[in-house]
Amino acid sequence: MLEAFWAVPALIIGLAAGAGLGIYWANTSTNSRFQQKETESRLLLEEARSEQKELLLQAKDEALRMRNEVEAQLKEARQTLHKQEERLQRKEENLDRKLEGSERRERQVQSRERHIDQLYQEAERLRNQQMQELERISALNRDEARTIILAQVEREARDDAARRIREIEVATREESEKIARKIIGLAIQRCAPDYVAEITVTTVNLPSEELKGRIIGREGRNIRAFEQITGVDIIVDDTPEAVTLSCHDPVRREVARVSLTKLLKDGRIHPSRIEEVVLKTQAEIEQIMREEGERVAYEANVQGLHPDLVKLLGRLKYRTSYGQNVLQHSLECSLLAAHMAAELGVNINVAKTAALLHDIGKAVDHEVQGPHALIGADIARRLGRSPAIVHAIAAHHNDEEPQTVESFLVQAVDAISGARPGARRETLDLYIKRLEALETVAISFTGVQRAFAVQAGREVRVLVQPDSIDDLASIHLARDVAKKIEESLQYPGQIKVTVIRETRAVDYAR
């Protein structure tokens, strides 16, 4: 019991002591935290003061920098104003000097005007004295003198009028040239046909390489017969599955191409069959040329042409001039002439018809002697064309003096179509003329039936009439042709002359 009694006070004392210790440690901990917070606050305050000082320093630096910039700008503005003031001052000085100069010139002008007035009065006085003296010397009164002076003035006015007329004519001519160039430009823009350059060789593709042997034939009889009948040289070389047809005449070359194509398809290649196919092909080419003439006349909107004119027009499909296709050139000229005639207000039908037919003489110029312009005019006259069209055709190369606007238009469109870029190649025309000259020299001999220039003009083959030329005369003919070529033509290298004499015996089994 006693132990229990003393245990309670001990417990109370222990609890009191524990509470006291707890309060003490709590106070101690609180004081420690308070001191720590106070220390942190002082540090933060010091940092804030330090940052404030730095900000104040930065603000002062920025203010100083801005002040310097402002002062620099003010200094630059003062300098600019000073310069402007100096310029204004110089301008004012210049204006003052100019004003002084203007006033001085004005005084001089006024002085000159007074001097001129004095001179004019003096001149009038002298004129009156002169008139009085002239009247006294010439014994003429004022009316008679006026009549003479009026006549003189009239002559001077007439001279001035003539001079003015000439000036007007020159100005009108220059203006008309401008208008003409504009019309030509519009016509060229509206007419833009395609142009196809002609070549002197045609390549024929073969189904197989074996056909080259059949084209040549036994001992070359097939190729010789083909070349004699068509007048085209066949070049059989190492080109795989192809042979080349060489001839300056595009009609003959086209006939040869179509004929050879038919023979290759048919398979029967021998001299008699070659001759038969070539004749049929020639008839087909004639039909094609007629259709081409009708097509071109339709495209040019030229109606009422004679059938012979249409046929001759179609022949121009295979004729070239300086490398330019003559049929395409004629169509182009017709379209250009129609546009230009419409702009000028002249007869459109006459202009486009004459332009379409202006080179029709080239279709027969190998058969008829004379300039192709006059040949074409004669053909058009005989086939019912109007005198205006005939004259325009004849005058397009000044073989006749142009008399109408339409004739000048045909000259203009011919030059435009031939001179435009890419239209012509002079080298090809010279080449064709050289080949034609070779054939002309050969045909000029008696007994010659036909002549063909082949191998690009390196050889001329002469077909003679067997009844007129025998074998011995053929040798002499070859020498004579070669000698005349040497004397009359200029050519590079050498030209081979081959005279061919063929005798045919024909009979029929009935």
List, for residues 289-314, the tens digit of each pLDDT value: 888 888 888 888 888 888 888 888 88
Q: What is the mean pLDDT of residues 137-150?
A: 72
Query: 330 CB contacts (<8 Å, ≥6 apart)?
Result: 296, 313, 316, 355, 356, 357, 358, 359, 360
Residue 259 has pLDDT above 60, yes or no: yes
Name every residue whose Cβ is closer than 8 Å to that of residue 381 and which is 6 or more positions away in sequence: 387, 390
Q: Which CATH architecture has domain 198-299?
A: 2-Layer Sandwich (3.30)
pTM for this prediction: 0.45
* More confident: 95 or 237: 95
Average pLDDT, integer, range 124-149:
75
Q: What is the mean pLDDT of residues 324-332?
A: 84
Average model confidence (pLDDT) across the chain: 81
- State mean pLDDT over 441-463: 86
Q: How far apart are CA 298 and CA 356, in angstroms?
A: 11
**May I ask the CATH class of domain 429-500?**
alpha beta
Q: Residue type for 315, please?
A: R
Q: What is the mean pLDDT of residues 479-499?
A: 83
Instruction: Evaluate whether 332 touches 432 at the Cβ level (below 8 Å).
Output: no
pLDDT at 29 over 80: no
Name the token pair of 345. Answer: 């207000």
pLDDT at res. 369: 74
Yes or no: say if 490 and 469 are a contact pair by the CB < 8 Å rule: no
Strand runs labelled E in 154-305: 201-205, 233-235, 242-246
Positive or negative CA dihedral for 429, 435, 436, 438? positive
CB atoms within 10 A of CB 228: 18
What's the DSSP call for residue 493?
S
Q: What is the per-residue pLDDT across 66-86, written as a single tens digit (0 to 9) for each?
A: 989 898 898 988 899 988 888
Lowest mean pLDDT among 161-175, 245-259, 392-406: 161-175
Contacts 24+ apart (CB under 8 A), 239-244: 239/203, 240/209, 241/205, 241/206, 241/207, 241/208, 241/209, 242/203, 242/204, 242/205, 242/206, 243/203, 243/204, 243/206, 243/212, 243/215, 244/201, 244/202, 244/203, 244/204
**462 pLDDT band (50/70/90 cuts)?**
very high
- pLDDT above 70 covers a percentage of the chain that reads 84
3-state helix, strand, coil in the chain (%, to 5): 70, 5, 20
Question: Residues 121-128: what's their mean pLDDT?
Answer: 86
pLDDT at 194: 47
DSSP count for the chain of H helices, then E strands: 14, 8
Confidence (pLDDT) at 246:
83
What dihedral angle (degrees, nearest 10) is formed by the CA atoms of 32, 38, 40, 43? -140
Q: Where in the chain is the domain with CATH 3.30.300.30?
A: 429-500
Q: Is the pLDDT of residue 97 over 80?
A: yes
The DSSP secondary structure of 333-353, one letter per residue, reads HHHHHHHHHHHHTS-HHHHHH
C-beta contacts of 420-427 below 8 A and 24+ residues apart: 420/188, 422/195, 423/195, 423/322, 423/324, 423/329, 424/321, 424/322, 424/323, 424/324, 425/197, 425/322, 425/323, 425/324, 426/322, 426/323, 427/323
Is the per-residue pLDDT at 423 higher than 80? Answer: no
**What is the mean predicted confidence (pLDDT) over 207-220?**
82
CA distance 209 to 193: 39
Reported confidence tier of residue 196, pLDDT bands at 50, 70, 90 = very low
d(CA 279, CA 229): 9
Confidence of residue 430 (pLDDT cuts 50, 70, 90): low
Using the predicted structure, report yes or no on whether residue 240 has a pLDDT greater than 60. Answer: yes
Q: pLDDT band for position 322 (50/70/90)?
A: low
Interstrand relation of 324-325 and 448-454 (parallel, antiparallel or unpaired): unpaired
Residue 4 has pLDDT above 60, yes or no: no
> For the chain, how long is the longest CA-to-CA vector?
195
* Closest among 321, 297, 299, 323 to 311, alpha carbons compared: 297
Radius of gyration of the chain (CA): 56
Does residue 189 surpass a pLDDT of 70? no
As given in the structure block, the two tokens for residue 236 are 């059989």
**pLDDT over threshold 50, residue 426:** no
Query: Torsion over CA of 231, 235, 240 and 242, rounded to 10 degrees?
Result: -10
Highest mean pLDDT among 137-146, 226-235, 450-459: 226-235
- Residues 240-262 have a mean pLDDT of 83
pLDDT at 421 over 70: no
What's the mean pLDDT in 325-329?
Answer: 84
510: Cβ–Cβ under 8 A, 6 or more apart, which residues? none
**pLDDT given for residue 125 in this prediction:** 87
Which candidate, 247, 189, 295, 226, places its Cα nearest to that of 435?
247
Of 402 and 490, the one with more pLDDT: 402
Structure tokens at 192: 């833009």
Count CA atoms within 13 Å of residue 38 on its CB side.
6
